[in-house]
Chain A
Amino acid sequence: MMEGFEHVPRVDARIRVLRWALGIALGILATGLWYVQIVSGERYASRARQQTYRTVRVPAVRGRILDRHGVVLADNRPSFQLVLYVEELRPLYDEVYSRLRRGRRLDAAGREVLRRQARYWVASNVVQELSRVIEMPLSLDERTFHRHHNQWPYRPLPLLEDAPREAVARFLEQAAFVPGVDLEVLPLRRYPHGSLAAHALGYLTRDDQARDPDEEAFNYSLPTYQGAVGVERGFDEALRGRPGLKSIVVNSLCYREAETVWRSATPGDHVYLTLDARLQAAVVRAFEPLGPYARGAAVVLDVENGDILAMASLPAFDPNEFMGPISAERWESWMNNPLFRPMFNRATQGAYPPGSIFKIVTALAAYDSGVLHPGNLDAELDNPGYYQLGRRRIDDTAPPGRYDFQRAFRRSSNTYFIHYGLEAGLEAIVRMGRRFFLGERTGLPTWQETKGYFPTVEDARRRWGRGNLANVCIGQEITMTPLQAAVLTAAIANGGRVVRPRLVERVEPAETNLGRRTRWFPSETRGELGVDREFLRVIREAMLSDTEDPEGTAYRAFHQRDGTPRLKRFRVGGKTGTAQVERRGRVVDHITWFVSFGPAEQPRYAVVVMVESGASGGGTCAPVACRIYQAIEQLEADATPPTLAMSR
């Protein structure tokens, strides 16, 4: 072979080319690095963060709901959850996997299958062991486990929710024997009085996707509950508080490596209701003689400021049931039973024909339009026992005879009120009804209110003829809720002010040091009737005679057989009503009412009782109202301030 030249030129042109090429190539790399690391650095950094951080939403402790005296109606209890941290079993997975793999030749897919098997084998053994320790049968579904492991291995897999105390105790004693299993404490809603005021309180539903509009994105949420209805729904935002956020650093297998709390949760506010828990309980008790399947509602309203002191609907549900699973059978047979409908708040969602209690409005309309006036109140109208309207004869429940206003009122004479109602005319009656805001919601923050049916003047003109109007005069063809009836009664009792019923008194922050103030909800007058106060007194007199005159429809309910009043201090004015529920022209049911106020001298309470399928207003509802007044008397007699005896 030839040797190369001994001497080559020092600066070779081709080497110079190489030098340039090298410089350019390194320049390309430097530019590329500059572009990736400096120009797009932020983008890649955020992608790195995105794949390493999982944000967890930690719901705040829900605020409590209390009655006007501070009796707790809804609070929280610790609930224990046994959870499995699937990633903590990693060493076991590997151990079992390598044991299974020994002496086998496998391709990548086969290894993956074996790994899966090893993981499930380990996890189900752990669950078996846990099951033995807590002496409760538990099982781990294979598909659930694999799905959980593949998608969210950083997040605990719940094995037993709301674990009973014995299980918790057994677990704590022997926790060392079950790897990867941990006990988590979560606050769970509790309604200490069960179904008491359940409708007003409402209930919660589980919603793990819950989020506030301005909330940062999160990857998953710890169990979250949301108000479905009632105050829980109406004040959900205040009660819920502000959820906390924590982030979990996960590795490429999505196993958890570290945890950081970004923001701790702010507990929810407490909501103070206008309800009086003791009175509420008394109201429910007042229905007891009607049997366990009574369907009805009662409202006790403070006539001056519209505070709802008690609001009951029967039958009631127990909101605690919603914190656990409800079986389909239970739901079908009871919760969603079309007849009993325990979830239905009859006091605000039930629109019923008012029947004779509407005669109050008819009387006011007649007086307001001048048909009735001080001069003819004592004039007697001859009642043949029916009202002849063209070819139609409307029966009167009151016996034939001669009736002046008061007698007609306390005997609830259809003839009298149809006569004067028709004379006053459609417009006067509808206008008077609208002054009570019939056909409109009262604006209760419970998401469970109906308007009832009461048309506007224009609608009424279009739809109603004389026959309809005759029916309206005695409270048929229109509907109202017991709460609307209570507002109506309160307006009569307080001298003509239509109040807006108030259920929530104030919302108070859980910790005062947060600098947030208590929100008060002042009482509100919605409107004035604008009727001569003297005539309101006449109506009150007439209502008083309904319970005090032996002829009155409610006399029997408020007096013992020997004629002594059942109430010791209160004199109560009332009006009974029995409305017919017709279907295809036939009477299929009765709605019975009793609206009342007391004490007569200086009315403070309006008590409305409504019972579905009752016998009559006087026979079914008035006794319930009487028992409510007895309870009020009793409560007023207790000079001692209310204690927290009810709270536990």
Chain B
Amino acid sequence: MNRPELQPVVRLREPRVHWPLLIGVLGLMVMGGLFIASAVLARPGADQLPFHRTGWFRQIIWYALGLGVGTVAVWKDYRVLARWATVLYGLSLLLLVAVLIPGIGSTQGWGARRWIDLGPFQFQPSELAKLTFILAMADFLSRPKPELQRPAIFWRGLAMALVPFLLVLKEPDLGSSLVFLPVALVMMFVAGVPTRYLTRWVGAVAAVGLILVVDVLWLPAEWQPIKLEPYQKRRLMVYFGRPVIPRDATEQERIAALRAYRDAAYSVNQALISVGSGGLWGKGWRQGTQNALGYLPRGVAHNDFIFSVIAEESGFVGSMIVLALYATVLFSGLHIAAGARDLLGRLLATGIVAFLFVHVFINIGMHLRLVPVTGIPLPLLSYGGTSVLVTLLAAGLLHNVYTHRRTD
């Protein structure tokens, strides 16, 4: 295949920086730094740690590294990067397989095998896979419209999403795995895949979801066609506010089931109390009792539940600021997508927007009990190196699409 020569672009009168995007990202990092500090400094013994070992300091290091990576990602034209998409996608899949192997993958003391231990820090392949998947998907879908009408393209695109989905589900990490499907859906939608395929697909996913819910909440254990992890079942029960106790359970089993349910409901309830008790103005930075007194579980207050800390301490005003910052970033993304020079850029931008949006919606929605609890980080606000790096890398790519936009 012959490739057209890259056109030298005249950008003299065009702004080089997409300021709203940059301001949104920087604003989120400021919020993240502030409230991760609030969350981790409230822990007992936090004042004895040297500052370079505290969570907020590490997070700032990650921010700095991420900004560097993001800047690099802006540099090279995304069309050049896209040539490596398939390779990167393949590599990510390899890593996702590798993480399932006990010798390579690490559980970090949790139930799931999600991390690869790299000495000083841990790396979560699923986070990287989300990004390489977007790149590969964008590359795959950027083809002439008639081709996109073909069912084969749709099925192959679906397969590209399902492979990482299943691998991540196997870890198990339901939350992260669920990201792939809506992202793929949005990208296909923007690419121009006929909506009848997409609606059918959405219908199928909804049906599976319904079966899952019915399965967990109403069917006896031996009939359940889909086996979920016990904690996943519990999360669904908590979401629907209904503890499931087998009818033939003994008194002790009943008590155990109820206790498990209460424990599972605990963090959600505490998150809701935290958010709600913030009121309009919040309790003030580092004044949140829910966090300081440990009602919010210490293990998650600074990562998956960081929004509780923000909402409790800065109130409705603070959560609106967070929402506004995300809206800035996301709408900037759509703006960049609309202004992209080609379908690849547009798909890359919308993929990234969808990726960020799914995280934001699920995480904040989980605090409001709009969605069941899934361990999914809030981009740039949650503590966690991989998430920060990947998010900033994604923002860099987004900006790349902007930098190398159509200039006519």
Contacts and interface: CB of A to CB of B under 8 A. Distances in A.
A7 B7 CA distance: 13
Contacts of B273: 44, 47-48, 51
Interface stretch (A11-19, A131-139, A304-312): A11-19
Contact of B275 (A10, A36, A51, A250): A36
Given A18-B190, A22-B353, A26-B326, A47 B277 contact: yes
Contacts of A28: 370
A115 to B, nearest CB: 16
B277 A45 contact: yes
Contacts of A52: 289, 293, 295
Given A41-B276, A48-B290, A251-B294, A33 B361 contact: no
B357 A10 contact: no
Interface in A1-34: 1-8, 10-12, 14-15, 17-19, 22, 25-26, 28-30, 32-34
B197 to A, nearest CB: 14
Contacts of B320: 30, 33
A172 interface: no
Interface string B360-384: 1100110010100000000000000
A8 B361 contact: no
Interface in A484-541: none
B192 interface: yes
A123 B1 CA distance: 79
Interface in B41-66: none
B334 A22 contact: yes
Chain A contact surface mostly: helix
Interface string A459-472: 00000000000000
A252 interface: yes
A151 interface: no
B207 interface: no
B165 interface: no
Contact of B272 (A15, A17, A18, A36): A36
B385 interface: no
Given A3-B142, A37-B278, A249-B293, A25 B368 contact: no
Interface in B291-350: 292-295, 311, 315-316, 319-320, 323, 326-327, 330-331, 334, 337-344, 346-347, 350
Contacts of A14: 189-190, 192
Q: Give the interface size bracket for A toward B.
A: 35 or more
A52 B357 CA distance: 35
A28 B280 CA distance: 18
Interface-centre pick from A11, A52, A249 (highest chain B CB count, 10 A): A52
B293 A37 contact: no
A31 to B, nearest CB: 9
A33 B275 contact: yes
Given A5-B343, A45-B276, A33 B316 contact: yes
A150 interface: no
Contacts of B192: 14
B368 A10 contact: no
B144 interface: yes
Given A3-B3, A22-B331, A250 B293 contact: yes
Contacts of A217: none
Contacts of A11: 338
Interface-centre pick from A15, A35, A250, A251 (highest chain B CB count, 10 A): A15
A35 B311 CA distance: 13
A373 interface: no
B388 to A, nearest CB: 22
Interface string A236-265: 000000000000011111000100000000
B311 A37 contact: yes
Chain B contact surface mostly: helix
Given A19-B331, A36-B272, A41-B278, A252 B4 contact: no
A629 B218 CA distance: 90
B156 interface: no
A38 interface: yes
B406 interface: yes
Nearest to B295: A252
Contacts of A44: 272-273, 275-277
B280 A2 contact: no
Contacts of A1: 1, 139
A38 B316 contact: yes
A3 B6 CA distance: 12
A29 B289 contact: no
B143 interface: yes
Contacts of B294: 251-253
B167 interface: no
A8 B340 contact: yes
B68 interface: no
Contacts of B175: none
A28 B357 CA distance: 13
A36 B279 CA distance: 8
Contacts of A12: 190, 338, 346
A36 to B, nearest CB: 5
Interface in B1-29: 1, 3-4
B276 A36 contact: yes
Contact of B334 (A18, A40, A249, A257): A18
Contact of B4 (A3, A34, A45): A3
Contacts of A6: 4, 341-342
B245 interface: no
29 contacts: A2-B142, A4-B143, A4-B342, A4-B343, A7-B342, A8-B340, A8-B341, A8-B343, A12-B190, A15-B337, A18-B190, A22-B327, A22-B334, A29-B361, A32-B364, A36-B275, A36-B368, A37-B278, A37-B316, A38-B280, A40-B276, A41-B280, A41-B316, A45-B277, A48-B277, A48-B295, A251-B295, A252-B294, A257-B293
Interface of A: 1-8, 10-12, 14-15, 17-19, 22, 25-26, 28-30, 32-38, 40-45, 47-48, 51-52, 249-253, 257
- The 7 A-B pairs at the shortest CB distance, nearest first, are namely A44-B276, A4-B142, A4-B343, A251-B293, A252-B294, A48-B277, A32-B368
Given A10-B339, A52-B295, 19 more contacts: A3-B342, A4-B347, A5-B144, A5-B342, A7-B341, A15-B337, A17-B189, A18-B190, A18-B334, A22-B327, A26-B326, A29-B370, A36-B275, A37-B279, A37-B280, A40-B276, A41-B276, A45-B279, A52-B293
